[in-house]
Amino acid sequence: MHLGHLDICLSIKNIDRSLAFYKGLGFKVVGGEPERGYAILAKDQTRIGLYSHDEPNMLNFRGANLHDVASYLRSNGLQDIPEVESEVDGSTGFTLTDPDGNLIYFNSLSGHDPDPNA
């Protein structure tokens, strides 16, 4: 079962300092609005979201059929899988919390979830 393409979303304290660090690792800004406190960075097949809005760290799986993903998770015995909901931007999504309190967000918007491995 394809869960979607994984983006790692990190809560940061200073966008300029974090951008300089990740650019030093070879990442390039491919989205977001750094002047508003968030940026999407990419290198090879890896994407990282940086957020300075007091957001928790999160794994973001993008681009899969979320109804299939939710069914798959339920069939594997995971409890309390929420229903897939429409979101304000026209995408669909749902969020889980792992046993340690980390957020796992599943989201899909047709045509906006390019395969980072392509």
Q: What is the reported pLDDT for 115? A: 54
Beta strand pairing status for 28-33 and 5-11? Answer: unpaired
Domains of the chain with CATH codes: 5-108 (3.10.180.10)
The pLDDT tens digits of the residues spanning 16-40 come to: 999 999 999 999 999 999 999 999 9
Show the 3-state SS of the chain.
CCCCEEEEEEECCCHHHHHHHHHHCCCEEEEEEHHHCEEEEEECCEEEEEECCCCCCEEEEECCCHHHHHHHHHHCCCCCCCCCEECCCCCEEEEEECCCCCEEEEEECCCCCCCCCC
As given in the structure block, the two tokens for residue 24 are: 């030093």
Q: What is the reported pLDDT for 113? A: 57
